[in-house]
Amino acid sequence: MLYDTLRAGALRNDGLDGVRVAALDRARWFLDLVDWTPADGTSTDGTAADGTSADGAAADGVPVRSRRYDGDTRRSVLARRLPTCADADGRAFLVALLLAGAGGEDWIFWHHASEIRAASSRARGWSRDETAVLLLGAAEIMPDYRLAEALDVALTAAERLDPEDLYELAPWFTHVSGAFARADIPAGYRGPLAKRLWALMEIVDEAFLPDGLMPVSEVWAAPLRASASTAPALERARFVRHLVSLSSPRPTAKWRRTCLSLMDAVSLRDTVAACLRSLAEDDPPREGEYGYLVHHDHGDLARGVVWAASLAGGPETVQRLETLALRAGANAGSRGLAEDLKLAGAAINALGAADDPGALESLWRLRSKIKHRALRKQLDTALQTAAGRQGITPAQLVERSVPSHGLRPDGSLERTLGAHTVRVAVQDAATVRLAFTGADGKASKTAPAAVKDGFADELKQLKALAKEVRATLATERARVESLMSDDREWPFGDWREHYRDHPITGVVVRGLIWEFQGGDGAWHASMTPPDETPARVRLWHPIRDTMDGIRAWRERIVEQRVRQPFKQAFREIYLLTPAEEETGTYSNRFAAHIVRYRRLYALFKERGWQANFLGRYEGGHNGEARGEFGGGEWRACFYHDPADEADWAPEYASTDQVRFERRQGRGWADVPLADVPPVVFSEAMRDVDLFVGVTSIATDAEWTDRGEDRFAAYWRETTFGELTANAEVRRAALERVLPRTKIADRCRIEGRYLVVKGELRTYKIHLGSSNILMEPDDSYLCVVQARGKTKGTPYLPFEDERLSLIISKAFLLAADHEITDRTILHQIKPVTT
């Protein structure tokens, strides 16, 4: 019998035997319910409650203990009886419950969790000794993952005691604290219970740090553990508990003031700085394939340390916060570390609150490297915080925080290393060069032996600088291009300082067309400011110009052989179509395409869109990619679905609708297409066209050679289909570039094709897919793009991989009699023999 077993175990001679026995006697009804037989062993009709005979044996010989009430019956009895229990009966029930759980009947906590919570919340009048029995019982619960439910009951009782009674419970608090620290408790339960337990223990002994509050083995916490030998116990305990109390992404002003006060009281500024250094740099422990920077049990403490180190300041604090944000967020998986978004968020928000000017540059760099949606929101908040302190907008803060890396106004930097001068220079909007010039004036692109051997450290630093400048240049090129959808205007002085005259941004800016507003209020487009100082400046977009104006700019760009940082003069324009006016709220312009999914997902991230990952898991069956435009006030939503079955992620996806939303407070609201500003609509649809154009299987020249019928009809229809706006721009560029090439007399543009007359055959290169048909029978010619960059490609006014491929194919086919590749010759040969 359970009652007999527990009563025998209740006699421990520890001063609490009477409490345990009294509770077991008073709650005998409950123990018998658990034991599956009534108190006297039989019912009124002489049979046991489970239907066996009074002698305890069933007709089939199965013992009574194996005949059990079903869960619904027990639940019905508990639901009927517990609410009517007086306080003494309710307390006895809970004490007996924990004793039964410690005795092996832990299943009760899972089966009757709601009834237990209700009884615990009702019970009043707890004594010190009853609470001691609860704490001791909770510590003895097995398996230990049930300790959470038992400890909740014990803490609820302890929280209703007077402080004087709590002091007497110190040994039992220490005992249960140790069990709690060792127990395998789910993270969602551990945090709230730990805060309650530690709050009670603080009342008992403010100088005591409970087990589990301080990591005992994690490398990053070693400096904090070592402080026990130097810092006063009481003040140190107060400081550590204050760090753990931080559970929000950004602490309050009061928390920060208290943190500084407590930290200075124990002189631990250097200690938290050392902890931050370890989080940013030291190798963490590993569990299998991945390691974790901070165990989830100590996340609050680690985030408190991050904020304390930020408040303490120091020459390397900002750099370490930036490193930690990348380590815990953007670079976690690639470095074998488990992602810790909360820790990364703490570092980002601490940078936003830092007064150090270097923090702005760190936020700027993080903005270009972090793609995770949640961390991007944290970055936006940090930028708003930093901008608010300066009385400017986040956009202004970003453009004013672009690092110059010590470059001169012309975008260069020189260092003398022995007899050589080393020059780091931004050559154009896509290139940063490292050049070496000897005493004889001879220049070299590679480091001479004298520099490598005599100045290895300095050379390493200059190479690292060149790498940083390249990253900044690429980020600025993307940032300035994103302004194409913004309705931004700048006072001329601000534009000149932060754009034209910046050593890196200026290289991008000087290759673009801008509009300058004169004193009469009229806007005039130019690549250089007028002689008379203009009032305001904005970035030129072709959608605001006339067709004649666009053509004129395209002619000028090609005539002067300007290679723009991104497509501007030749930028695609997407206007609302009659079909979209009819659908009203969505566009099917890019629907029903078959695309390579992983390439599509990578392109989403590359262009700054946020998307869920398709796969065979909850939420992975319907894809939605979202991109923000117009300074973050508008959002385009591009829907897509798996196009095949896969064990994990699909190889192909099918595209669907594009919809638009407008920011409304903290949320978003659907809007009709007609209400979307034309420049926002055009830029969003341009991105979607890019997604489809780059990832569509229609661009795969070898698709038909695979022997697959899957999607074959789509490939045939699309690979030589009507041109998109993107392909139309390629045609416009070719019309201006081809006449300046040596194969001009062999090429002409007809509709959607570039027609090339070779010595052997005439070819038609599709301007969208770049795939080739051969006259006279339109047979297909498969020409696979060679790996690496194509050499000898003529000048192009903008970077476009597909356009470069089309031109390289045109040069190849114009001299088809010189082709030596047998796979190509075999396709041409039937007509040539």
Per residue in 355-406, pLDDT (tens digit) is: 888 898 899 889 888 888 888 889 988 998 899 888 999 899 999 999 999 9
The structure tokens listed for 78 are 């508990």
Distances (CA, A) of 362 to 281, 329, 468: 17, 14, 12
Residue 54's pLDDT band (cuts 50, 70, 90): very low
Residue 64 reports pLDDT greater than 80: no
What average pLDDT does this structure show over 531-549? 94
DSSP 229: G
Distance CA 130, CA 145 (A): 23
What average pLDDT does this structure show over 781-810? 80
pLDDT given at position 489: 95
User: 146-150, 210-214, 524-528, 829-833: which has the highest mean pLDDT?
Assistant: 524-528
What's the one-letter identity of residue 774?
M
- Strand intervals (E) in 129-181: none
Closest of 697, 685, 755, 771 to residue 726, by C-alpha: 685
pLDDT given at position 801: 86
- The CATH number assigned to the domain with range 219-400 reads 1.25.10
Distance CA 327, CA 334 (A): 9
Q: Please state the pTM of the whole predicted model.
A: 0.74
What average pLDDT does this structure show over 576-604? 94
Distance CA 564, CA 484 (A): 14
pLDDT given at position 60: 36
328, 337 contact by CB (below 8 A): yes
Which of 282-296, 512-526, 735-749 shows the lowest mean pLDDT across its residues? Answer: 282-296
Q: Higher-confidence residue: 339 or 696?
A: 696
The structure tokens listed for 63 are 């013992």
What's the one-letter identity of residue 477?
R
Strands in 514-517's sheet, in edge-to-edge order, are 490-491, 536-539, 514-517, 523-526
What average pLDDT does this structure show over 646-659? 87
> To which H or E segment does residue 628 belong?
strand 623-629
Pairing between β-strand 290-291 and β-strand 286-287 as defined by DSSP bridges: antiparallel
Q: H/E/C letters for each residue in 345-394?
A: HHHHHHHHHCCCCHHHHHHHHHHHHCCCHHHHHHHHHHHHHHHHHHCCCH
Residue 108's pLDDT band (cuts 50, 70, 90): confident
Residue 501 reports pLDDT greater than 50: yes
- CB contact set of 599 (below 8 Å; sequence gap of 6+): 694, 695
**In terms of C-beta density within 10 A (0-12 exposed, 13-18 middle, 19 or more buried), how is residue 72 classed?**
exposed
**Which residue matches tokens 């202004």?**
396
pLDDT given at position 210: 80
pLDDT given at position 287: 61
pLDDT given at position 335: 61
Distance CA 685, CA 689 (A): 6
pLDDT given at position 833: 42
Closest of 636, 605, 637 to residue 623, by C-alpha: 637
> To which H or E segment does residue 315 belong?
none
What's the one-letter identity of residue 727?
A
Where in the chain is CATH 3.30.310? 578-695
Residue 213's pLDDT band (cuts 50, 70, 90): confident
Residue 52 reports pLDDT greater than 50: no
Q: What separation, in Å, do the N-terminal and C-terminal C-alpha atoms of the chain show?
A: 100
Percent over 90 (pLDDT), the chain: 57
pLDDT given at position 186: 76
Residue 718 reports pLDDT greater than 50: yes
pLDDT given at position 107: 78
Pairing between β-strand 594-596 and β-strand 536-539 as defined by DSSP bridges: unpaired
Per residue in 110-128, pLDDT (tens digit) is: 777 888 888 899 999 999 9
Closest of 760, 764, 756 to residue 781, by C-alpha: 764
Q: Higher-confidence residue: 45 or 537?
A: 537
When the pLDDT of each residue in the chain is averaged and rounded to a whole number, the result is: 87
Centroid of chain to Cα 270: 31
Domain 578-695 has CATH 3.90.320: no
**Which residue matches tokens 């969505």?**
586
**In terms of C-beta density within 10 A (0-12 exposed, 13-18 middle, 19 or more buried), how is residue 363 classed?**
buried
Per-residue exposure over 471-503, b if at least 16 CB sit within 10 Å of its own CB, e if not: bbbebbbbbbbbbbbbebebebeebbebbbebb
pLDDT given at position 786: 66
The structure tokens listed for 340 are 């810790």
pLDDT given at position 713: 83
Distance CA 264, CA 235 (A): 10
Closest of 220, 194, 124, 204 to residue 166, by C-alpha: 204
The structure tokens listed for 454 are 């005599």
pLDDT given at position 823: 87
DSSP 704: G
Residue 40 reports pLDDT greater than 70: no
Residue 673 reports pLDDT greater than 70: yes
- CB contact set of 404 (below 8 Å; sequence gap of 6+): 502, 503, 504
Which of 379-388, 559-568, 698-707, 761-770 shows the lowest mean pLDDT across its residues? Answer: 698-707
Residue 62's pLDDT band (cuts 50, 70, 90): very low
The structure tokens listed for 96 are 């007996």
What average pLDDT does this structure show over 748-753? 94
Residue 290's pLDDT band (cuts 50, 70, 90): low
What average pLDDT does this structure show over 667-673? 96
Residue 700 reports pLDDT greater than 90: no
529, 536 contact by CB (below 8 A): no
Residue 696 reports pLDDT greater than 70: yes
pLDDT given at position 792: 58
Where in the chain is CATH 1.25.10? 219-400
236, 228 contact by CB (below 8 A): yes
Residue 58 reports pLDDT greater than 70: no
What average pLDDT does this structure show over 528-541? 94
